[in-house]
């Protein structure tokens, strides 16, 4: 896994060396409102990270995660994840930005870079995301990046230990290529 750089962000792979940084971030109670996060001790979390695949390449299976940093900031702004499944070259993403840094486009910028990594390095054919219908900010991120909203999956995830319905969103390689082209800045700009 590589460090991914964007205009404003640095996405640093989560390894056993920095797993504690992500673990500390995961303890903020407000981040559990819309998503199911691991409830593990710091040591168990680090051990789990150690079992993950190390190289993002075509055919890799498992979970890849990056801490998101703003350039020149030591404190992480959030994290993004990509889970590659054994079946049909597909990936699933997750993303979180800490409360005080939301509404500045950082999630969209980080997920855009993550999609590039999934399609170009992981060679997946499509990427999915699931979110509860009430999570409007998350749906906006997906909408901005060209995801299509799909079916409502009954009891498709659990949040705080409770089964919840989630909306499936998906972007195919073809849709991604087109939306990536659509946001390209013309050379004359």
Ligand X SMILES: CC(C)(COP(=O)(O)OP(=O)(O)OC[C@H]1O[C@@H](n2cnc3c(N)ncnc32)[C@H](O)[C@@H]1OP(=O)(O)O)[C@@H](O)C(=O)NCCC(=O)NCCS
Are 12 and 6 in contact by the 8 Å Cβ rule? The answer is no
Out of 17, 39, 85, 140, the only residue in the binding site for ligand X (CB under 6 A) is 140
Residue 123 zone, left/alpha/beta (φ > 0; ψ -120 to 50; rest): left
Residue (of 39, 50, 44) closest to 17 by Cα position: 50
Asked if residue 135 binds ligand X (CB under 6 A), the reply is: yes
Q: Which stretch binds ligand X (CB under 6 A): 18-26, 51-59, 99-107, 179-187?
A: 99-107
Q: Which stretch binds ligand X (CB under 6 A): 18-26, 63-71, 133-141, 172-180?
A: 133-141
Angle between helices 136-144 and 106-116 in degrees, nearest 10? 50
Residue 151 zone, left/alpha/beta (φ > 0; ψ -120 to 50; rest): beta
Comparison of 124 and 138: residue with beta carbon closer to ligand X: 138
Residue tagged 């659509």 (tokens)? 182
Out of 23, 34, 66, 79, the only residue in the binding site for ligand X (CB under 6 A) is 34
Which residue number is nearest to ligand X in terms of Cβ?
105
Q: Which stretch binds ligand X (CB under 6 A): 11-19, 119-127, 132-140, 171-179?
A: 132-140
**Least distance to ligand X from the beta carbon of 54, Å?**
25
């Amino acid at each position: 896994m590589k460090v991914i750089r964007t205009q404003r962000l640095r996405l640093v792979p989560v390894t056993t060396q920095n797993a504690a940084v992500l673990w500390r971030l995961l303890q903020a109670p407000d981040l559990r409102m819309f998503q199911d996060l691991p409830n593990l001790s710091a040591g168990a979390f680090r051990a789990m990270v150690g079992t993950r695949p190390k190289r993002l390449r075509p055919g890799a299976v498992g979970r890849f995660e990056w801490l998101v940093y703003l350039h020149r900031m030591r404190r992480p702004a959030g994290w993004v994840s990509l889970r590659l499944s054994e079946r049909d070259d597909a990936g699933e993403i997750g993303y979180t930005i800490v409360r005080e840094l939301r509404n500045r486009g950082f999630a969209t910028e980080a997920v855009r870079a993550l999609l590039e990594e999934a399609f170009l390095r992981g060679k997946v054919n499509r990427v999915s995301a699931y979110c509860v219908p009430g999570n409007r900010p998350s749906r906006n991120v997906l909408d901005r990046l060209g995801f299509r909203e799909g079916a409502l999956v009954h009891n498709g995830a659990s949040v705080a230990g409770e089964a919840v319905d989630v909306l499936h969103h998906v972007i195919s390689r073809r849709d991604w290529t087109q939306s990536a082209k659509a946001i390209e800045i013309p050379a004359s700009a």
